[in-house]
Structure 1
Amino acid sequence: MQQASAVVRRFVNQWMETGFHGICVIATPQSEVVALWIMKFSGLAAEKIIALGTMLDTAFLQWELGRHFQVNAKNVHAYMIGSTLANGVPAWSRAYIGGRPILSYMMDDPERYSFEKLQPIVTQMQELPSEPLAENRLFDYSIALALVELTRIILEDERMILTVGVYVQDKFGMASGFISIPAVIGASGVKTTVPLTLSDSEQKQLATVVKALEEAVQAGLPNEGGTKRGV
């Protein structure tokens, strides 16, 4: 991790020497961790730094839920939050199909809809990067398409809600750092985050993710602190 942060620092210093003051979009393994390093090394405002985070995971979840509930994915509102560093957290308590909570589907028809039946979707998502298709770079193409979409949303100031890695303070169990949560993205970067009231189980899962993120950040910056460029 220290080697990785040193590489990030070298490239960030090169960017800042050019007078860069735009929006930094990050698509790399552990993107939320790298995002915090970039903020520390560059001195850029937090809203100007966006990690791809779980944007792809959320798109996959919505698509598969659409297939499971036999509706168009556009009618599915569900999020994978947390990070790709550890297992993402499906926010089932805030998932809706056509405006109706998924939990109500389970209550009305438990034999057809249940968490057990939805778990394979989450498992498949976690295994996707290591599947044979990934060897043919199909997974990389998905990342590229997500980056194109995110860039377009910024350039056209669409103000769309995406689950991307954004900087938070004293939210979701994180004192300060980047974590993937729903946020409004537009021309100025991160406009605002979307409040989420999670279940006790989801909060417990998210706490595990937060701990993993904080440990990874510190592994790269064991004796450092502050937010000014060059720190």
Structure 2
Amino acid sequence: MGKQMNMRKAAVIGCGFVGSATAFTLMQSRLFTELVLLDASFDKADGEAKDIAHGIPFAGQMKVYAGNYDDIADAAIIIVTAGASQKPEETRLDLVNKNVAVYKNIIPEIAKQEFQGILLIVSNPVDILTYAAVKLSGFPERRVIGSGTVLDTARLKYVLSEHLRVDSRSIHAFIIGEHGDSEIAAWSSANVSGIPLDDFCEMRGHFDHEEAMDRIAEKVKDSAYEIISKKHATYYGIAMAVKRICECIVRDEKSILPISSIQHGNYGMEGIALSMPAVIGLHGVETHVPVSLDEEETELLKRSADTLKGVIDGLDFN
């Protein structure tokens, strides 16, 4: 057994844009009393930790510091954002070999610590790396969660809320599948406070449903590319998504989020990680939620799974 787990402690591995934005967000969240940052460059982690720590007087007492693998054994959640980031013109899947190599260094180090908490994978391609993290760590699958399409789903709710002029929190809709180009907007189960989406659209004066759905889904899918082309990285949205996942775990909320985890038989998918709605609590993934899909969505999900399966089959975890 590893060290006694500290439920108020988190670690972030990788202090690039995503890691440091995540750490900054978690400092303000008051979810944790201790936050340790790791990076290939100790100075980078130390600089980020010191900068973030100077905000503590405005947020509430906690410890934020740079550390090493020995410092993270008792964390409740380890958030991995390390790896090469997506460049303009590059897809998330293009990153795969670079970042699997990075994970071959990081994940065994975490496993060596006999870590007992939740491993939250954020680096891209997140679905492949979630699968890699399970294989390289030997941890139970429920304890390895990818941030998946939690952010894509938030983007969908945001765009829909603008379209419908309604609070995004009243919109219930999911992006599922790969966090990437083959993702699927599950329109057939979308609703606004229980009212079918098409009915609500008509209530708000929108009648061209097909065109609007296609346009909105494309906008969501392309939003990361657009942001990357303009500012070279996306990090605020994902930092908020990571905070939301951490809340569900630390508070044992049993909320339903479209996280990435290994699938067993859901819509015939086997032995790949991708995003489907799941109940998330203290012990990670409690159960997958059987979201209803129409025939076209089911076919697209199968295609998304096949895309990821093709990549996984080409990887070597030995």
Question: Relative CO higher for 1 or 2, CA cutoff 8 Å, sep ≥ 6?
Answer: 1
Q: Which residue of 2 aligns with 1:175?
A: 270
Structure 1 residues 153, 132: closer, same or farther in 2, change over 3 A?
A: closer
Report the AA paired with residue 183 of structure 1. Answer: A
Q: What is the rounded CA distance, in whole Å, between the counterparts of 1:9 and 1:34 in structure 2?
A: 10
Q: Does structure 2 conserve the Cα–Cα contact (< 8 Å) formed by 1:105 and 1:113?
A: no
Q: What is the rounded CA distance, in whole Å, between the counterparts of 1:147 and 1:185 in structure 2?
A: 13
Aligned residues: 223
SS of equivalent residue, structure 2 residue 212: helix
1:168-191 CA distance string (max 9 Å, x none): 201123122211011111111111
Residue 117, structure 1, aligned to residue 212, structure 2:
yes
TM-score, normalisation: structure 1: 0.87
Residue 94, structure 1, aligned to residue 189, structure 2:
yes
- 5 Å matches for 1:195-210? 195-210=290-305
1:153-210 CA distance string (max 9 Å, x none): 2111111111110222011231222110111111111111111221000011111100
Calculate percent identity across the aligned residue pairs. Answer: 26
2:131 aligned residue (36, 46, 52): 36
Structure 1 residues 109, 143: closer, same or farther in 2, change over 3 A?
A: closer
Q: Which residue of 1 aligns with 2:312?
A: 217
Cα deviation for residue 21 of structure 1 reads 2.1
TM-score, normalisation: structure 2: 0.65
Q: What is the rounded CA distance, in whole Å, between the counterparts of 1:109 and 1:2 in structure 2?
A: 46
Q: Does structure 2 conserve the Cα–Cα contact (< 8 Å) formed by 1:80 and 1:163?
A: yes
Residue 193, structure 1, aligned to residue 280, structure 2:
no
Q: What is the rounded CA distance, in whole Å, between the counterparts of 1:120 and 1:105 in structure 2?
A: 17
Q: Which residue of 1 aligns with 2:101?
A: 6
Q: Which has the larger radius of gyration?
A: 2
1:66-85 CA distance string (max 9 Å, x none): 22222211211100000123
Q: What is the rounded CA distance, in whole Å, between the counterparts of 1:3 and 1:78 in structure 2?
A: 33
List runs of 5+ in structure 1 lacking aligned partners: 225-230
1:21 aligned residue (96, 116, 119): 116
Aligned residues: CA RMSD: 2.3
- 5 Å matches for 1:54-73? 54-73=149-168
Cα deviation for residue 88 of structure 1 reads 1.1
